[in-house]
A and B are shown apart, each in its own frame.
Chain A
Amino acid sequence: MTANPLIRRYRFSQFRPQQLVIFGVLYGCVLSLLLFINISIYRFGDAFNSSNTLYDSLFIQFTIMQILMMWLLMPMNCSSAIQKEISEKSFDFFRMLPIPAYHKATGILVGRNLFNLIIAGINFIFCVVFGILAELPPALLIQLLLLLICFSLALNFASLLSSILSFKKARSNVLALVLLAIFGFGPVMGGLFEAVDNGDIQAFKVHFITIEVPILYLISAYVLVAAVWFFVGVLRRFSFEYQSLCSRKGAIFLMITYLFLLYGIFHHFLFDASELARYHQPEPFYIFYILGLFPLALIPLFSMRTFDQYVEITRTSKCQNGLLLRQFLHSNLFLGIILFALWALVMNVLCVLTKNPVFEYATFSLLLLTCYLVVVCLVELYTLYVSESGKIGYLLGFIAGLYFILPLIFSAIFENDYVALFSPFGLIAQFGDRMSPIEWFPVVVWNMVILLPLGLLVGRKYLQIDRVRSEIETSNG
């Protein structure tokens, strides 16, 4: 571990005696207080009717402390790592370190949390001891431990990633906060109490394709996959600082991974007739179909090329196709369409295999494509025009807001459900009730009307890119 120079660097600053004493005393006080309060209640109160309930309670409290350290304090430390380097103007030295990206990532993760890790280690021993004394099943302890570690890895890498998403300026860690909210404590605490009280969550099994696995193992595995992706993102960002977070191949692979994992959960419900009978509304396939759309909104943002990169491509590209076609093939728009095609292919094939109404789902896919193109065109307009006006994002965001929300507002005002179909949200919500393509046709026309000016603006800028290149070459000899 000390072979990593970054860990060594953080060890110097974290293990100064005065700092160790303060934090050590602080932890000692919290520990003593917890034990004192719980033992007092056990001895003098009537909340704990046996030593088992006392140990149960202590186990939960120490696990909560563990969660606070591993899911909150440690990610917070990671999320400020790069911003601190930037604000202290030492970032160039960090960039220049001749160590591989994974050393940098693990160096920050471990180095910035050295003290936390020691405390977490001690705390973990208490957790295990109280868990054993409370006679909790070993399987539950192992599964909880795995869950704790996997979530911790995912949150820490996500926080580090959020810290390095923008190298240019220090900013608040919105992504880290959002992630913390998503993995919020409420459900976790509730689940923890439930698990310990019932004592049988470790035996609850779910299906991954055809394999039956305990639910906590499956959740851990899924979170671990997310952690691996976050880690890959961190490595890419450290290695290719000025490029998008996802390469094109990476974006497609990420999409395939997501669809596979989603399919893993849904397989059982999609193909097992007895299971299917339990789910009338909405149908499992429809939920699967809609959940599959999520990455389409996120992945193109992770792999977005900038206008500067478009201009660079005109110099380095070997593609001999027509100007507009060449630009289109390198554009964010094209990647969006590829990802959508991938989603549509998987969904429609599964639609056939699971004997769902193919025609309705296929036409619905086309309808969603028009909606998706509107959104991707807005994103592409941002890419193309942000160098001319830094505030273009506000205008495009406002247009996107109108596109998504306004039909829902009109639908509520005029008490007409059909109007809501003109919003993608309304469309998704009403799909089950309105399967007729005749009802969808006006929505397609509406989307085309919006797409026309957006497409023209995008095409116009694509054509200008080659002119920018010619101007560069002419003015610089």
Chain B
Amino acid sequence: MGVVSTQSLRKEFSSLVAVNDVNLDIERGQVVGLIGPNGAGKTTLLRMLSTVLPPTDGTAIISNCDLRKDILEVRREIGYLPDFFNLYNDLTLTECLDFIAHAYCVPKESISEKIRESLVYVDLYSKKDSLIRHLSRGMIQRLGLATLLVRDPDILFLDEPASGLDPMARIQLRDILKRLSDEGKTILISSHILTELSGFCSHIAIMNQGKLVMQGDVKQIEREITGVGKFTIKVLRDSEKAENLIREFPTATLEKNHDSTFEVSFADDPMAIAELNAHLVKNNICVIHLSEQKTNLEDLFMEISREKNLQIS
């Protein structure tokens, strides 16, 4: 069982089922992008996991604590950043972090060092004695992250952390999140801006109409959707001969060919591309480029939505 594991987690609002018996499993150290259109139930799921909203049915185990029974323990284990929030306007940054650190029982002797580190981490150290009411939206968002860093939870739930930020602030926020994922934190991050998550999530979970449509490794899902791995092969000369060799190769399918560049898809055998490469080289074809085509999250999401819509219709 993962570090976060939901068991038929469900939330109803009257006749609307916002989260419909979701079974989500997240292993330690995974960075999971929770994606889906508006109204898919992402925020409701995160709010339930963060103990802010009680589930109608089902439960979740977070770091071996039951979401329903051990609410205070769950709160200590996780860090949650809501989609739209503010912090205490009448406090300075240092005071706010000091309050959070005490509330979450950070050892007293390390609090001032933790506060300094967190503020440096989010690049707000120069503002440490300013009142929060004087901060910009982007700064408050970064301070929100600092409130998590100061107590250093291993599990982070982030709900649309970049919403309302300008491009510069988004890049800064993304850098911080990348650093956190490199440090081995378990992160569940929701967004409907998929470029925000590309290149930083190891896994994705896709929600639609309250249901968890798909969950897994980004590459694995890509394979599940496309069914194959896609590669680009560029040769220096003899493009006709190369084309014939590729067509004759049993597990390869030639998708496109232009200017001595071939787009080839393979059935799920990872050895096949190596064998094709060897086959081309053995037949005196100069392969000068061979790479796997990366599908971005946006393409993937569109592909999944298309598939699911087809299934529904």
Interface residues of chain A, those whose CB is within 8 Å of chain B, are: 5-6, 8-9, 12-13, 88-90, 92-93, 95-100, 240-242, 307-308, 311-312, 315-316, 387, 468, 471-472, 476-477
Cβ-neighbour of B72 out of A98, A316, A476 (below 8 A): A98
**Is B185 part of the contact surface with A, judged by Cβ < 8 Å?**
no
Residue in A242, A312, A316 with the greatest tally of chain B CB atoms within 10 Å: A312
Q: Are A9's CB and B91's CB within 8 A? A: yes
A88 to B84, CA, bound (A): 11
CB distance from A257 to the nearest CB of B (A): 28
Q: Are A96's CB and B50's CB within 8 A? A: yes
Chain A proximity mask over B224-263: 1 for CB below 8 Å, otherwise 0: 0000000000000000000000000000000000000000
* B contact residues around A90 at 8 Å (CB): 85-88
Q: Are A9's CB and B15's CB within 8 A? A: no
**Is B14 part of the contact surface with A, judged by Cβ < 8 Å?**
yes
A208 to B51, CA, bound (A): 45
Q: Are B147's CB and A387's CB within 8 A? A: no
Interface of A is mostly: helix
A316 to B58, CA, bound (A): 10
* A contact residues around B12 at 8 Å (CB): 308, 311-312, 315, 472
A242 to B51, CA, bound (A): 12
Cβ-neighbour of B90 out of A13, A99, A100, A316 (below 8 A): A13
Q: Are A96 and B14 CB-contacts (below 8 A) given A5-B102, A89-B85, A476-B20?
A: no
Cβ-neighbour of A315 out of B57, B86, B99, B105 (below 8 A): B57
**Is B210 part of the contact surface with A, judged by Cβ < 8 Å?**
yes
* A contact residues around B266 at 8 Å (CB): none
Residue of B nearest to A3 (CB): B102
Residue in B50, B103, B210 with the greatest tally of chain A CB atoms within 10 Å: B103
Q: Are B75's CB and A96's CB within 8 A? A: yes
Q: Are A308's CB and B103's CB within 8 A? A: no
Number of A-B pairs whose CB atoms are under 8 Å? 88
A-B contact pairs, 5 of them (CB 8 A): A8-B102, A312-B56, A316-B56, A468-B15, A477-B20
Q: Are B91's CB and A12's CB within 8 A? A: yes
A477 to B89, CA, bound (A): 46
* A contact residues around B211 at 8 Å (CB): 476
Q: Which 10 A-B pairs have the closest CB atoms?
A: A98-B75, A5-B103, A89-B86, A13-B90, A9-B99, A5-B102, A12-B95, A98-B76, A92-B82, A98-B72
**Is B17 part of the contact surface with A, judged by Cβ < 8 Å?**
yes
Cβ-neighbour of A88 out of B20, B80, B89 (below 8 A): B89
Give the residues from 77 to 117 in chain B that come closer than 8 angstroms, CB to CB, to chain A.
80, 82, 84-92, 95, 98-100, 102-105
CB distance from B272 to the nearest CB of A (A): 38
A307 to B76, CA, bound (A): 33
Q: Are A311 and B15 CB-contacts (below 8 A) given A9-B99, A92-B85, A316-B57?
A: yes
Give the residues from 48 to 63 in chain B that come closer than 8 angstroms, CB to CB, to chain A.
50-54, 56-57
Residue of B nearest to A316 (CB): B57
Q: Are A97's CB and B103's CB within 8 A? A: yes
Q: Are B99's CB and A476's CB within 8 A? A: no
Q: Are A100's CB and B72's CB within 8 A? A: yes
CB distance from A81 to the nearest CB of B (A): 12
CB distance from A210 to the nearest CB of B (A): 45
Cβ-neighbour of B88 out of A88, A98, A387 (below 8 A): A88
A472 to B105, CA, bound (A): 43
A89 to B99, CA, bound (A): 17
* B contact residues around A308 at 8 Å (CB): 12-14
A88 to B132, CA, bound (A): 11
CB distance from A220 to the nearest CB of B (A): 34
Q: Are B52's CB and A92's CB within 8 A? A: yes
* B contact residues around A240 at 8 Å (CB): 54
* B contact residues around A9 at 8 Å (CB): 88, 91, 95, 99
A172 to B166, CA, bound (A): 36
Cβ-neighbour of A96 out of B73, B80, B98, B99 (below 8 A): B80
Further 4 A-B residue pairs, CB within 8 A, beyond A12-B98, A89-B86, A98-B104? A93-B100, A96-B80, A98-B76, A472-B17
* A contact residues around B104 at 8 Å (CB): 98
* B contact residues around A96 at 8 Å (CB): 50-52, 75, 80
* A contact residues around B90 at 8 Å (CB): 12-13
Residue in B85, B95, B102 with the greatest tally of chain A CB atoms within 10 Å: B102
